[in-house]
Amino acid sequence: MKRYAIILAGGNGSRMNAATPKQFMLLKGLPILMHTINRFYDFDSNIHIILALPQSHIVAWEKLCKAHIFNIKHQVVSGGETRFHSVKNGLDAITETNVVVGIHDGVRPFVSNETLISCFEVAQKLGNAVPSISVSESMRKVENSENTCLDRNQVKVIQTPQCFQIGLLKKAFLQTYLYSFTDDATVVEAIGEKINLVEGNAANIKITTPYDLKIAEVILSI
């Protein structure tokens, strides 16, 4: 099956306390989003990359590509009001039927090649695959004014890319948007599909705060 990646880059700089959208912030001299796209290109130079950006950020992205001589081929679509709507816009750009689509956060530049291989291969075989890692901290569930201990062996941290066969994904995204759709797996699960978890990688962090950016600089230097 042919591979597609929809990379979502709809964030802003609010949690970074910066005017620059977080996906455009520099990491070792290169915008974070370019590091992310490079990961997918290094994994599969034939992958079709669709980048979902807010309409207001597209010109800035084009200028960054020129400034950094960034020539990896990709298609840009306008992002939507929510993640759900941005993914839907990306899906509308895919006309092929025999493909696996990986949906990834633009500010996760450290997904490993092993994680990418697992996600795409399992999704091709079973319909979907979602990367996850185990929890090392103690966990408690807070409900109203009460809190109770959770068995951390029964809890996973979910990452991206979340990969799906295109037919399943398009069917799921025909649903009306619900606030409970926190990621793509929850959308697909809502039509009765079982979600298949695969092993993610600990370095596959989502960069959303200044602290995350510092961690990212360390990871990149290793």
Question: What pLDDT, on a 0 to 100 scale, did the predictor assign at position 15?
Answer: 63
Number of domains in the chain: 1
Domain hosting 107: range is: 2-221
Instruction: Yes or no: say if 178 and 190 are a contact pair by the CB < 8 Å rule.
Output: yes
Cα–Cα nearest to 47, from 71, 23, 74? 74
pLDDT digits (tens, 9 = 90+) for 116-126: 999 999 999 99
Residues 110, 115: Cα–Cα separation, whole Å: 10
Mean pLDDT of the chain: 96
Q: Which of 35, 11, 68 is nearest to 220 (CA)?
A: 35
**Interval 102-115: pLDDT, tens:** 999 999 999 999 99
For 49-74, the pLDDT digits (tens) are: 999 999 999 999 999 999 999 999 99
Closest of 189, 34, 47 to residue 117, by C-alpha:
47
The predicted pLDDT at position 19 comes to 79
Q: What is the 3 state secondary structure string of the chain?
A: CEEEEEEECCCCCCCCCCCCCHHHCEECCEEHHHHHHHHHHHHCCCCEEEEEECHHHHHHHHHHHHHCCCCCCCEEEECCCCHHHHHHHHHHCCCCCCEEEEEEECCCCCCCHHHHHHHHHHHHHHCEEEEEEECCCCEEEEECCEEEEECHHHCEEECCCEEEEHHHHHHHCCCCCCCCCCCHHHHHHCCCCCCCEEECCCCCCCCCCHHHHHHHHHHHHC
Best CA proximity match to 195, nearest among 222, 169, 167: 169
Chain-centroid distance, C-alpha 153 = 24
Domain CATH number, residue 162: 3.90.550.10
Q: Residue 216 and residue 26: Cα distance in Å, rounded?
A: 11
Q: How far is 59 from 77, CA to CA, in rounded Å?
A: 12
The CA distance from 13 to 19, in Å, is: 6
**Whole-prediction pTM:** 0.95
